[in-house]
Structure 1
Amino acid sequence: MRKVPVNEAIGQVLGHDIIKIIPGREKCRAFRRGQIITAADVPLLQDLGKEHIYIWEAGEELIHEDEAALRLAQSASGPGINLSEPSHGRVNLIAAYDGLLKIQVDQLHWINNLDSVIFATLHNNRTVVKEQKLAGTRVVPITVERSLVEEAEKLCSNPRPLVLVKPFKNLWTAVITTGNEVCYGRIKDGFGRVIRKKITPFGGRFMSQTIVPDSPEIIAAEIHRFIGEGADFIIITGGMSVDPDDVTPLGIKASGAEVVFYGAPVLPGSQFMLAYQGHVPICGVPGGALYSKFTTLDLLLPRIFAEERINRSDIVALGHGGFCEECKVCHFPACPFGKATYV
């Protein structure tokens, strides 16, 4: 790159985009990289406050910002990622389909620790939709050394792609509702409708719902029955508190399932249990899910439908960001709730 006065740049090749900004109204590209400067362009450039511009002079050891951003984005992209065209030295990573966004957070930190390299993303484990912008990358100067780009490319792709989207699987979902008061008709069940609504965005296929009394043995038997009939996912509603008649945790344990945790550092939704019977996840959901819009269940559903095996350390990490502010206008999942740094 060579810096020249604009009135001496006629006939030269512009080395960078130039942006025009009208506060509160417009931001657009007034001049494009590669454009040949004409005499008519000189006063327009001066109107934009440009007395000098950079002229592009190719060099083997320097890479232009557009090429650098594109190379970084390509190296960082795993399955489910499309790329925008370079613009203003920046490339965006875009979801190719609906799914679960995965960010390798440690790698992201390593990349951003390099001088002159920028990579910004949405939170890890975020539900995203097709054509949603997920991340963006650029370098700070107009040109950077080739060796820096090559180093950043390695960090973007190793040991895994920095950014990818896992598609959701159409899991057959069975619901077991517990409680003598519901089983014997004293009150009407409200969970069936709620659970159907929650699994629909992920393509969940509602298998069926059964209502059982407060009996660990019956709960365990229903778990085995549903698995035998092909359930991919079982949600058990009610009976999760410390009341003596609430025996759902005992029923899950009695089934022989491996309990990952009981009691999540999330409010609302702390009296929640996650277990696995082989590859089948089993969620014990407390009654709070009937009146709280989003709870622990909502934080874990995207990962379950992406067929991730959730472990105890994943749940422990939810405490950072696990306090719902219960805003009057809810923007979940575009909010801090459940957005732990490293999960």
Structure 2
Amino acid sequence: MFGRRPVRAAKGTILARSVSFKAGGRLDAGCLLGPTEIAALVMAGVGEVTVAELDPHDVAQDEVARRVSAAMVPLPSDANLDLGRPSAGAVQITATCAGVLGLDTAGITRMNRVDEGVAVATLPQFHRVAKGDVVATVRVIPYGVKRSALSKVIEDAHDTIRVRAVLAETASLIQTVIGGDGGAAKGEAFLRVRLDRLGVHLIETLVVPHREEALAEALLSARGEVVFVLTAVETVDRGDVAPEAVKQAGGVITRFGLPVDPGARFFAGGLGAVPILGLPGGARDPAMTGVDRLVDRLLCGVSITDEDIAQMGVGGLSSSDV
């Protein structure tokens, strides 16, 4: 039940609209109207209040938010998440470490279909997060939800959100140059900013001539857990200098090209267990691109399939007009 009710008949209901007293003080929406609250309203001359009353089949909003969030994150420490205390029908879910957000998007969509009163909102899939960031909220809009609806939401909620922590702690940058440093300082500065956001330390920058032999030697000597390559001229073919240098060093190229703009001229590979990521020229620019999202995922150990990359095309165009 929701509506207006005489104050003296409102005991045991939930106040739906806050009431401020002329003499000072207030009763906040959501409070249970017990004898003390009723007496205060009568003393203040309030005749009617807007209230909500739960029936035996309803569960109060804070309890709904608590149960739903607990189902979404059954083991908070394993999921690198913290569940806030329910307040006004809402629970905030925050990251306890840096990483990327991992979601069961289908499960969360099913949750939001069950009952209009239960709303789950998250950051986007694979969004980069820092420690303390709010990554999701569970909000219960009315003051109560049917027990049957809550049970169905909980069925769909199990283990639907986590933060994938960064696996690599260190990185190396190899830059090739033609007749000078060719903007090497700018490339290093912007990569360092990108890595710092995830707590990855750029431990070295190697600058070598834009030749296969020199780059292959640098790849073999790099000490980082992941190696970034930024060439003097962008890589335009699997047979270009950088991919050939990776193969010359004994590595492999697993992907060349992305359906993003800017950032299409990206390549990925590996040398033993060390990932090698060939950055496009746009890495010398502070603007975020689809490549940044891909790199974040790789640093957090999220496998990337050809289908994942194909799906990057929708929304892969970056525009200053958006």
TM above 0.5: yes
Residue in 2 that maps onto 1:189: 184
Q: Write the distance in 2 (CA, Å) between the matches of 1:235 and 1:109.
A: 36
Q: Write the distance in 2 (CA, Å) between the matches of 1:131 and 1:67.
A: 24
Contact 2:226/2:276 (CA < 8 Å) preserved in 1? Answer: yes
1:284-330 deviation per Cα after TM superposition (whole angstroms, max 9, x unaligned): 11223223522344223322332323332222222222222236xxx
Contact 1:170/1:202 (CA < 8 Å) preserved in 2? Answer: no
User: CA 1:44 to 1:56, structure 2 compared with 1: closer, same or farther past 3 Å?
Assistant: farther
Unaligned runs of 5+ in 1: 22-27, 328-335, 337-343
Q: How does 1:1-343 map to 2 (within 5 A)?
A: 5-10=5-10, 12-15=11-14, 17-19=16-18, 30-36=28-34, 37-41=37-41, 52-56=50-54, 59=56, 61-77=57-73, 78=76, 79-116=79-116, 117-157=118-158, 161-182=159-180, 187=182, 189-190=184-185, 191-226=187-222, 230-238=223-231, 239-242=233-236, 247-291=241-285, 293-326=287-320
Question: Secondary structure of 1:242's partner?
Answer: coil
Instruction: Report sequence identity in percent.
Output: 24
Deviation at residue 134 of structure 1 after TM alignment: 1.8
Which aligned segments of 4 or more residues in structure 1 are displaced greater than 4 angstroms? 1-4, 42-47, 243-246
Q: Write the distance in 2 (CA, Å) between the matches of 1:29 and 1:308.
A: 49
Q: Write the distance in 2 (CA, Å) between the matches of 1:295 and 1:171.
A: 23
Code of the aligned partner of 1:7: V
User: CA 1:289 to 1:146, structure 2 compared with 1: closer, same or farther past 3 Å?
Assistant: same
Question: Secondary structure of 1:294's partner?
Answer: coil
Deviation at residue 283 of structure 1 after TM alignment: 1.0
Question: Secondary structure of 1:32's partner?
Answer: coil
Deviation at residue 76 of structure 1 after TM alignment: 0.7
Residue in 1 that maps onto 2:23: none
Q: Write the distance in 1 (CA, Å) between the matches of 2:194 and 2:103.
A: 24
Q: Write the distance in 1 (CA, Å) between the matches of 2:19 and 2:252.
A: 60
TM-score, scaled relative to structure 1: 0.77
Deviation at residue 130 of structure 1 after TM alignment: 2.8
Contact 1:169/1:203 (CA < 8 Å) preserved in 2? Answer: no
Deviation at residue 171 of structure 1 after TM alignment: 2.3
Question: Secondary structure of 2:154's partner?
Answer: helix
* Cα RMSD, aligned residues only: 3.2
Q: Write the distance in 2 (CA, Å) between the matches of 1:9 and 1:163.
A: 44
Code of the aligned partner of 1:281: P
Q: Write the distance in 2 (CA, Å) between the matches of 1:245 and 1:55.
A: 71
Q: Write the distance in 2 (CA, Å) between the matches of 1:120 and 1:244.
A: 41
TM-score, scaled relative to structure 2: 0.81
Code of the aligned partner of 1:163: I
Question: Secondary structure of 2:124's partner?
Answer: coil
User: CA 1:181 to 1:84, structure 2 compared with 1: closer, same or farther past 3 Å?
Assistant: same
More displaced 10-residue stretch of structure 1: 252-261 or 203-212: 252-261
Q: Write the distance in 1 (CA, Å) between the matches of 2:227 and 2:314.
A: 27
Q: Write the distance in 2 (CA, Å) between the matches of 1:319 and 1:140.
A: 36
Question: Secondary structure of 1:97's partner?
Answer: coil
More displaced 10-residue stretch of structure 1: 271-280 or 105-114: 271-280
1:221-274 deviation per Cα after TM superposition (whole angstroms, max 9, x unaligned): 332332xxx431000111434399952132234444343321111121111112
Question: Secondary structure of 1:231's partner?
Answer: coil
User: CA 1:221 to 1:136, structure 2 compared with 1: closer, same or farther past 3 Å?
Assistant: same
Q: Write the distance in 1 (CA, Å) between the matches of 2:45 and 2:287.
A: 53
Q: Write the distance in 1 (CA, Å) between the matches of 2:7 and 2:228.
A: 71
Question: Secondary structure of 1:302's partner?
Answer: helix
